[in-house]
Structure 1
Amino acid sequence: MKTSVVSNEQSNGSIWAVALRSSLLLIVVCGIVYPLVSTGLAQLIFPSQANGSMVKDSSGNVVGSELIGQSFKDPSFFQGRVSSIDNDAAGSGSNNYAPSNPELLKRVQESVAQWKKENPEVPFSQVPVDLITNSGSGLDPHISPASALAQVSRISALRTISQDQLKALVTKYTEGRDLGVFGEERVNVLKLNLALTELSK
């Protein structure tokens, strides 16, 4: 009987020892080794992306990330997508309103009114839909090339830069489809506005 009790105690002790060793091994491998290796490889192979795809101005100062949209209130800059969270990178998302929701109708009407006020010379029928609709994340940093071109006349008048120069700038900063087939052509608003600032000097 005593032998059986001692044997059970030894067996339990052995199980606990194995569990402890396994836990320590997993902590070291998954909590230390793997993060260090993956972070090191990311810094080596994709340093820009690993550090947040930060965008710098001509002075080398970080002004934002190319992955997160910003609000440009000054009408002399290119405007991005509507954001129900005001491009707050602390969280993403948008109000999931149905097309019949009066709150959605109100927001769209406000966007349309603002557009007409700032761009009276551009017929509303020519306004690309992405300029008056919210992005799903609320953080979309891109607009379509057509949306950028629709703002050229306003910016040209406010900055006394020729429309041809601005159109050339939009073309220069238009990004193609990923791998030539995925997604749509797009323009990063932050990069475009940085280039616009340099052009205005």
Structure 2
Amino acid sequence: MKKYIRPALVLTLGMVAVIGVYTLVVFGIGKVVPNKGLGNQITVKGQKQYANIGQQFTLPQYFHGRPSAVDYNAAGSGASNKGPNNPEYLEQVQKRIDTLLMVNPTMTEVKIPVDLITASGSGLDPNISVAAAEFQIDRVAKARNLSTEKVKDLIAENSAAENIVFFAPQKVNVLKLNAALENLK
């Protein structure tokens, strides 16, 4: 029995050392990067908000983000794990389509970008595609009494700031875009 205890203790202590060093290295890197590992914070109406965590917007004057399988709860991120043929999932997607068409009456079902009706893997995706933002232009412009061109320009400005990786799909951070809308006043 002694011949098994010593190797087990050595292996355990070795793994504790390796994992401890790894943890300290990652913690150290987090303290020297921009924002000191505190996330991507912006100030909206005098309050600090995390732009790297998806948030729910339901009012017509705001752009809406991706649906969330965890109701935008950052403490418990995750997906629904329902397959594409699951009847509950298909019913949920149809409800999302119906809701989108109801709040965006100038659009058709054919034009709905997939990221507006499907949740991301984490349920907290802060970004939508440029196509998803453009899908919502008429509703937001009408609710804010703005021209559609002004809203398009705002999307273009905010998508350019988000897209620094070559060949990546164009995206827009929903919170930053909505903050930019608020700053128009």
Q: TM-score, normalised by structure 2?
A: 0.82
Q: Distance in 2 between matches of 1:155 and 1:86?
A: 23
Runs of at least 5 residues in structure 2 that lack an aligned partner in the other structure: 1-8
1:63 to 49, 73, 79: 49
Q: Distance in 2 between matches of 1:90 and 1:34?
A: 24
* Correspondence 1:1-201 to 2 at 5 A: 39-44=27-32, 46-48=33-35, 50-57=37-44, 59=46, 61-64=47-50, 66-174=51-159, 175-176=162-163, 178=165, 180-181=166-167, 183-199=168-184, 201=185
Structure with bigger RCO (C-alpha 8 Å, 6+ apart): 2
Cα distance, 1:67 vs structure 2? 1.8
Q: Distance in 2 between matches of 1:71 and 1:136?
A: 16
Cα distance, 1:100 vs structure 2? 1.7
Relative to structure 1, the CA distance from residue 125 to residue 58 in structure 2 (aligned partners, 3 Å threshold; closer, same or farther) is same
Cα distance, 1:146 vs structure 2? 0.7
Give, as a single letter, the amino acid of the residue that structure 2 aligns with 1:43: K
Q: TM-score, normalised by structure 1?
A: 0.76
Q: Distance in 1 between matches of 2:35 and 2:113?
A: 31
1:16 counterpart residue number: none
Superposed CA offset, 1:73-104 (max 9, x none): 11210000011111110121111112221111
Relative to structure 1, the CA distance from residue 47 to residue 120 in structure 2 (aligned partners, 3 Å threshold; closer, same or farther) is same
Relative to structure 1, the CA distance from residue 117 to residue 49 in structure 2 (aligned partners, 3 Å threshold; closer, same or farther) is farther
Q: Distance in 2 between matches of 1:116 and 1:125?
A: 10
Structure of larger gyration radius: 1
Cα distance, 1:55 vs structure 2? 2.1
SS of the residue corresponding to residue 74 of structure 2 reads coil
Runs of at least 5 residues in structure 1 that lack an aligned partner in the other structure: 1-18
Give, as a single letter, the amino acid of the residue that structure 1 aligns with 2:39: G
Tell me the matched-pair count.
Answer: 176
